[in-house]
Homo-oligomer: A and B are copies of this chain.
Amino acid sequence: MFLDYASITPVDSKVEEEMRKVQKKFWANPSSLHTEGEEAKTLLEEARINIARVLRCRGSELFFTSGGTESLNIAILGVLKSQGQFFQGSPLKTLAPKGDPLILPHIIVGAIEHPAVLEPIKFLLKNKEVEVSFIYPDRSGRINPESIKKEIKENTILVIVQHANNEIGTIEPIQKISRIIKEFKQKNNFKYPYFLVDASQSALYEDVSLERLGADLLVLDGIKIYGPRGMGLLAVKHGVSISPIVFGGGQEGGLRSGTENVAGAVGLAKALEIAMKMREKESLRLTRLRDYSITKIIKEIPNASLNGGLENRLPNNINVCFGSGPRGLPLKDFAPKGSPQSNPLDSEFLVIKLDTLGFAVSAASACHTLSLENGSYVIESLGRSECASSSLRITLGRDSKKSDLDKFISALKKVIK
């Protein structure tokens, strides 16, 4: 039983069918001048317009990429790259202490963002190209908009907050943050900071339109919305300065070179369209299922506690800490050499044990399975370091049913006992 829908979703059968049709008939290169190329181009642009309708923006503000990671990297590295001249030629330069001609651009970023945000920022930090303020959430996982307000200054070029967290499902107060940024810009008549919102995890359950969220840059990923693999989206509002990070034939308005994946674009648009149609009903259904499961787990398993708040939480996210046992110690460090023993509440141990019983869940997120030795940095950031290595993420999807969850909780109780 698959209960790891936050890591990936299957491709919707309607999306798959649509893509197959496109792939069969309209496989030409959309940059070609002939009819075959024009037809492919038309489909590509139709897909773009269909997505623009959902995101309530213009088609020319949308750029197809190979996934969420690439979208986020273009957004962060591309905005940084494009502003070089701005800060060098700006009045800010005169603010710098004498003999220090360089003011580094400043980024404000949530501490529990996805690695596809934190890693490019670490890279920029290492190269001394930016100054960064990491904003820690409260115990429920929420970022306080006021703590962002405090950090915004004249050289802030980018504020990055995810719409919903991938591990604990917390939905962040994006609209409030957006308002604060807009006020700062208006008051100072500044072009920056831009607001980058990663909506990869929220698009199935929330209205992720640029208009509603007030984002300057927005990221979506096909794999998270029952859509195609290797397809992501970056929305960039008109007027935002951004440079490409990869160079070539100049496709996607020069921001993302490489032959366009037409069937992928059509599939992404279809997946988003289906998600929009199902959103309200599915959100309600999964919220009920989620709350039923959380209540049951916490009631029936001693010391179990929820990571992240119950309010402002994605309908499909359950993340539970199982409390006792040696804390913060990964499996292999804890077990004596050559010994088969291990921490019975270690996240990885639980995942593997549940897997043998036929249940697929996750320790933290799939995106840093390899670096789990130190446990989840997200749960650590909540001030619950005792839970960082003894928690499970259970995420629901379109196939999840109450009877399944009952079976899962029974298995969980056996494993934890």
Contact = CB atoms under 8 A, between A and B. Distances in A.
A246 B70 contact: yes
A37 B248 contact: no
A247 B70 CA distance: 8
Contacts of A261: 229-230
Contact of A366 (B10, B31, B230, B247): B31
B32 A73 contact: no
A34 B247 contact: no
A371 to B, nearest CB: 7
A352 interface: yes
Interface stretch (A117-125, A204-212, A272-280): A117-125
Contacts of A119: 247-250, 257
Among A16, A32, A223, A363, the one with the most B-chain Cβ atoms within 10 Å of its Cβ is A32
B7 A23 contact: no
The contact size tier of chain A is 35 or more
B70 A355 contact: no
Interface in A349-367: 351-352, 354-355, 359-363, 366-367
A84 to B, nearest CB: 10
Contacts of A380: none
A352 B33 CA distance: 7
B34 A351 contact: yes
Interface string A232-272: 00000000000001111110000001110111100000000
Contacts of A367: 31, 248-249, 259
A262 B36 contact: no
Interface string A71-99: 01100000000000000000000000000
A401 interface: no
A374 interface: no
A361 B360 CA distance: 50
Contacts of A369: 31-33
**What are the 8 closest A-B residue pairs judged by CB atoms, nearest first?**
A66-B66, A249-B367, A119-B247, A116-B248, A69-B258, A34-B360, A69-B248, A230-B261
28 contacts: A2-B36, A4-B29, A4-B36, A7-B37, A8-B27, A11-B23, A31-B366, A31-B367, A31-B369, A33-B348, A34-B362, A35-B355, A66-B67, A66-B70, A66-B258, A68-B259, A69-B258, A70-B258, A115-B247, A115-B250, A115-B257, A120-B246, A221-B259, A230-B231, A230-B261, A250-B368, A250-B370, A250-B371
Given A23-B229, A69-B248, A116-B247, 12 more contacts: A10-B27, A16-B20, A34-B352, A69-B258, A72-B248, A119-B250, A120-B248, A122-B247, A221-B259, A230-B261, A249-B368, A259-B367
